[in-house]
Amino acid sequence: MTHTDLNGQLDTARADAELFDLLRIPSVSADPARKADMVRAAEFLHAKLTGLGFDARVDATPGHPIVFAQRQGPAGAPTVLVYGHYDVQPEAPVEEWHTPPFEPTVRGGRVYARGATDDKGQAYAHVMGADLLLQGGDLPVTLKFLLEGEEEVGSVNLGAYLTAHRDALACDVIVISDGSRFAKDVPSLTYALRGISYVEIHVQGASRDLHSGSYGGAAPNPINALAHIIAKLKDETGRILIPGFYDDVEPLSDEEREMWAKLPHSDEAFAGSINARALPGEPGFTTLERLWARPTLDVNGIWGGYQGEGSKTVIPARAGAKVSMRLVPGQDSHRITNLIGEYVASIAPEGVTAEVRDLHGGEPVKVDLDSPFVQAASTAIESVYGKAPAFTRTGGSIPIVATFREVLGAPVLLVDLGLDEDALHSPNESFALDDYHNGIRVSAALLQEIGKLGR
Amino acid sequence: MTHTDLNGQLDTARADAELFDLLRIPSVSADPARKADMVRAAEFLHAKLTGLGFDARVDATPGHPIVFAQRQGPAGAPTVLVYGHYDVQPEAPVEEWHTPPFEPTVRGGRVYARGATDDKGQAYAHVMGADLLLQGGDLPVTLKFLLEGEEEVGSVNLGAYLTAHRDALACDVIVISDGSRFAKDVPSLTYALRGISYVEIHVQGASRDLHSGSYGGAAPNPINALAHIIAKLKDETGRILIPGFYDDVEPLSDEEREMWAKLPHSDEAFAGSINARALPGEPGFTTLERLWARPTLDVNGIWGGYQGEGSKTVIPARAGAKVSMRLVPGQDSHRITNLIGEYVASIAPEGVTAEVRDLHGGEPVKVDLDSPFVQAASTAIESVYGKAPAFTRTGGSIPIVATFREVLGAPVLLVDLGLDEDALHSPNESFALDDYHNGIRVSAALLQEIGKLGR
């Protein structure tokens, strides 16, 4: 079957309808109140894959369930493991959504819904890729799906699952679509991901809230203290001040800097796409270098004292913040988490205690560009998009990728199908339907190309 | 009627029952959802004062209503205006209350409820003081009550009310009980209050929330920016860094420093009372000097990004904080609000905009110690507590006091009946019942002493 056949056979109306049903399930892994919805999403995928003739099952974990499915291919055919996640980010702030986050709505060729691109849309493109091939006959490879429900909360149980099911998961290559292409007209293959260290900082002052009139000037203020701590984590130029933070950072090669300098990128357009007045960041690096190959630190949330209407003259007892650091090849998330823990405790202002709690971490990774699977992916992408992919990195993290390589010992292909403009993790997340449909075609073509490789 | 008679005649059971009924009304002026409760509280006071033979009324304002009542005294008797407020602070964080904030509960001789001491308990002590005198005959003075419902939100409508009703409010002396005595066994008369400038800082980065993986390292982060701004408002020693902030501060006199050095105060006990590890503050001043005679700055609330369970890797579009500055004699709240506005805009980090919004302000004030009314108050307090009052300042603010002096041209007596340990503005606010009962006796004795002064 040629790629042309694939294009002709794709029933986009059915492909859309099935994805929209999945998007209607509010599978927010961070929200304990959504536990039943997580199960519903897992069972939805289990039913679909069973219907395609896969040997599928839903495996319980201490957290949210994992969907595993496999379908035997021809004797001697390679084995492909597709990884994706059916859990999504919280929808907050819900008031900023133009249409309800869990009622998929099509506007201007895009479907708007939480999880549309991250990762339900990209993961389901592979399910429909198998569906597409099976209409024309059998699969050219042995295909396995591993779809988890905890990626947005650090894949806390997947590592143990991989180890426990090492044999069932054995494969020649792992395919992951959970990121963004470089640009609408630039298909890309991603060869490196940043890792992450995600912590909470908790600052305690007095044991109770105090009147700022009766105590202001003498009582410790945990919010002011937290602000001093955060200001000492990263300076205003974007340089991180945690001692030892940069020690193990693998430097950028001249080849990479030259390759990226050739990519079509405009700081003005990038800033304009998010209505930012400037793109502040670490001196001495371009925007792409800072996003792809340099570590950074961002406060993701902060709270303390009175947040309601009007004014309350209170000195609160405590304040806190969520802080995440993106890590690059060479860095180790456990070491970084320890470094920030020791540093924060050492800079806590007089009168307060500051404690760092580890929420989750993931290791950075670089993918081997020499594998024949990379060539197969490049061919498949070119057959659908009409041009060869650019080789890029991404600023995001898929912590489990490092674990995949470690436990299963197979190369990982990062075939990104989405775009940053899809607003993943933001209100009004969306996925362009043509990107979804091309993703289905790329998935089918990739399995065909890998099938040709034999073992 | 002698003070002994007063003590004998006080029906404490009835006095408590009436106060508890008032405490059951959740009159939180900052909460738009409590508007009807504000009216209920005003009508409760109107009914009580009418029952005591006062000519009482509830006057509407653009915000919450004002209760005004007056009862004519003997010809040639002085006129006393008692000011208080029936609105209370928000009860948040409600989960830290041991008993519900609007169900008054007596434990260990204290009544626990929001507003118990600030200011329902202290204001109602004067209502019951009049009640007590009227049992024994008539009032020795012409007595007026002015009870507002917006003190906790800056008394935004009281200034205009005072001006509009200048004639009806005409008086020889103003009595206010809305603060804390120096200590349980140290009755005090307060001769100075700090003013306040209360603002909100709003920081805007990109126009939407962003994925910290896709944008971390290039996109402006309004929370990190806000932390840098706050860290530049006050250094870690407590010294405020806003240019010009200290220009007009009236220095402490040697007499004041010596008078306060003699007061029974222990930093250890003070820190221990709030379980604070230290009492950080401006170098070169004692704790009492910092609390009473030095300006300060506290962040009262902060928010931004994800505050829910688990982790969300988001760079939020905006963040904000509530910041209040306590001001001392010499400073002007309008000038200070302008200074922080200009300063914050000037230090906003690259890529964000920072805006300061004025929530409310109030002027600092010092009371004239030479007035004969001060002697009358001193005598009344000594007759009840058995010792003469100490002359102290307070760190709190009653912004309207400056307006009273300005519009009505009468001296103000600050007869504090509560204690800092009452935890005003905090969870588990309370008022010692013996302080409430002594407050009733002090109020009655004070009216008798002022009656003796004639005009």
Searching chain B, which residue's CA lies closest to the CA of residue A352?
Answer: B277
Contact: A313, B300; criterion CB under 8 Å: yes
Q: Is B186 helix (H, G, I), strand (E, B) or coil?
A: strand
Residue B260 contacts by C-beta under 8 Å, 6 or more apart in sequence? Answer: B286, B288, B289, B292, B392
The angle, 0 to 180 degrees and rounded to 10, between the axes of the packed helices B333-347 and B222-231 is 130
B91, B152, B242, B311: which to substitute to probe chain A, counting the most A Cβ within 10 Å? B311
Summarised one tens digit per residue, pLDDT across range A69-112 is 999 999 999 999 999 999 999 999 999 999 999 999 999 999 99
Q: Are strands B66-71 and B55-59 parallel, antiparallel or unpaired?
A: antiparallel
For the record, the structure tokens of A301 come out as 């949330």
- Radius of gyration from C-alpha coordinates of chain A: 23
pLDDT grade for B1, boundaries at 50, 70 and 90: very low
Q: How far, in Å, CA of B27 to CA of A354, rounded?
A: 36
- Give me the catalytic one of B37, B151, B363, B429: B151
Mean pLDDT calculated for residue range B291-315: 96
pLDDT grade for B9, boundaries at 50, 70 and 90: confident
Point out the least confidently predicted range of A59-68, A121-130, B416-425.
B416-425
Q: Are strands A105-107 and A110-112 parallel, antiparallel or unpaired?
A: antiparallel
Q: Is B151 an active-site residue?
A: yes
pLDDT of A4 over the 70 cut: no
Q: How far, in Å, CA of B238 to CA of A218, rounded?
A: 9
Identify the structural domains of chain A with CATH numbers, from first to last: 3-193+365-453 (3.40.630.10), 195-249+295-362 (3.30.70.360)
What's B323's DSSP letter?
E
The answer to whether the CB of A249 falls within 8 A of the CB of A331 is yes
Q: How far is A144 from chain B (nearest CA, A)?
A: 28
The answer to whether the CB of B339 falls within 8 A of the CB of B244 is yes
pLDDT of A306: 97
What is the complex's ipTM, to 2 decimals? 0.78
Type of residue found at B15: A
Mean residue pLDDT of chain B comes to 94
pLDDT grade for B55, boundaries at 50, 70 and 90: very high
B252 touches chain A (CB under 8 A): no
Contact: B426, A210; criterion CB under 8 Å: yes
State what percent of residues in chain A have pLDDT above 70.
Answer: 98
For the record, the structure tokens of A276 come out as 């930012």
DSSP letters for B31-89: -GGGHHHHHHHHHHHHHHHHHTT-EEEEE--SSS-EEEEEE--STT--EEEEEEE--B-
Summarised one tens digit per residue, pLDDT across range A283-314 is 999 999 999 999 999 999 999 999 998 999 99
The CB density around residue B3, as the number of other CB atoms within 10 Å, is 16
The answer to whether the CB of A404 falls within 8 A of the CB of A412 is yes
Q: Active-site positions of A?
A: 87, 151
What's A420's DSSP letter?
G
**Rounded to an integer, what is the distance from CA A233 to the centroid of its chain?**
24
The answer to whether the CB of A235 falls within 8 A of the CB of A241 is yes
Summarised one tens digit per residue, pLDDT across range A5-20 is 565 689 999 999 999 9
SS (H, E, C) A119-178: CHHHHHHHHHHHHHHHHCCCCCCEEEEEEECCHHHCCCCHHHHHHHCCCCCCCCEEEECC
Q: How far is B130 from chain A (nearest CA, A)?
A: 29
Residue B302 contacts by C-beta under 8 Å, 6 or more apart in sequence? Answer: A223, A226, A227, A302, A303, A304, A305, A307, A319, B226, B230, B319, B320, B321, B322
For the record, the structure tokens of A22 come out as 């999945």
Point out the least confidently predicted range of A332-346, A433-447, B371-385, B399-413.
B399-413
Contact: B236, A90; criterion CB under 8 Å: no
Contact: B312, A224; criterion CB under 8 Å: no
Summarised one tens digit per residue, pLDDT across range A419-430 is 988 998 899 999
Please, what's the b/e burial string for B315-343 (b: 16 or more CB within 10 A of its CB; e: otherwise)?
bbbbbbbbbbbbbbbebebeebbebbbeb
pLDDT of B154 over the 90 cut: no
pLDDT of A1: 46
Q: How far, in Å, CA of A212 to CA of B347, rounded?
A: 25
The phi, psi pair for A42, rounded to 5°, reads -65, -40
Q: How far, in Å, CA of B293 to CA of B296, rounded?
A: 10
Residue A431 contacts by C-beta under 8 Å, 6 or more apart in sequence? Answer: A110, A111, A116, A117, A121, A122, A418, A422
Mean pLDDT calculated for residue range A48-73: 98
pLDDT of A368: 73
Mean pLDDT calculated for residue range A239-249: 98
Q: Is B87 an active-site residue?
A: yes
Searching chain A, which residue's CA lies closest to the CA of residue B426?
Answer: A209
Please report where in the chains the tokens 């709190």 appear, as a residue: B396
Window A:23-62, CB contacts with B under 8 Å: 29-32
Please, what's the b/e burial string for A216-229 (b: 16 or more CB within 10 A of its CB; e: otherwise)?
bbbbbbbbbbbbbb
Please measure the distance between the N-terminal and C-terminal CA atoms of chain B and give it in whole angstroms.
21
Of A276, A307, A351, which has the smallest distance from its Cβ to B279's Cβ? A351
In B336-415 the beta strands, taken as DSSP E runs, fall at 353-362, 365-366, 390-394, 412-414
- Radius of gyration from C-alpha coordinates of chain B: 23
Sheet of strand A430-432, all strands in order from the earlier edge strand to the far edge: A105-107, A110-112, A430-432
pLDDT of B121 over the 60 cut: yes
> Of A384, A379, A436, A348, which Cα lies nearest the Cα of A20?
A436
pLDDT of A277 over the 60 cut: yes
Q: How far, in Å, CA of B219 to CA of B225, rounded?
A: 12
What's A88's DSSP letter?
B
Residue B216 contacts by C-beta under 8 Å, 6 or more apart in sequence? Answer: A291, A296, A298, A324, A326, A395, B315
A96 touches chain B (CB under 8 A): yes
Point out the least confidently predicted range of A384-398, B187-201, B236-250.
A384-398
Summarised one tens digit per residue, pLDDT across range B253-287 is 998 899 899 999 999 999 999 999 999 999 999 99
B322, B346, B401: which to substitute to probe chain A, counting the most A Cβ within 10 Å? B322
pLDDT of B398: 78
Residues on chain A touching B394 (C-beta within 8 angstroms): 213-214
pLDDT of A208 over the 70 cut: yes
Summarised one tens digit per residue, pLDDT across range A119-142 is 999 999 999 999 999 998 889 999
How many alpha carbons fall within 13 Å on the CB side of residue B401? Answer: 28
Summarised one tens digit per residue, pLDDT across range A409-449 is 998 999 999 998 899 889 999 999 999 999 999 999 999 99
pLDDT grade for B118, boundaries at 50, 70 and 90: very high
State what percent of residues in chain B have pLDDT above 90.
Answer: 85
For the record, the structure tokens of A406 come out as 């470690």
pLDDT of B6: 62
The answer to whether the CB of A336 falls within 8 A of the CB of A197 is yes
Q: How far, in Å, CA of A302 to CA of A364, rounded?
A: 26
The answer to whether the CB of B284 falls within 8 A of the CB of B215 is no
Going from the C-alpha of A223 to that of each of A307, A311, A318, A351, the distances in angstroms are 13, 16, 7, 12
Window B:197-236, CB contacts with A under 8 Å: 198, 205-221, 223-224, 226-228, 230-231, 234, 236
Summarised one tens digit per residue, pLDDT across range A160-193 is 999 999 999 999 999 999 988 988 988 999 989 9
Q: How far, in Å, CA of A298 to CA of A322, rounded?
A: 9
Residues on chain B touching A280 (C-beta within 8 angstroms): 218, 220, 349-351
Window B:97-136, CB contacts with A under 8 Å: none
Contact: A298, B394; criterion CB under 8 Å: no
The angle, 0 to 180 degrees and rounded to 10, between the axes of the packed helices B433-453 and B12-23 is 110
The CB density around residue A341, as the number of other CB atoms within 10 Å, is 18
pLDDT of A197 over the 90 cut: yes
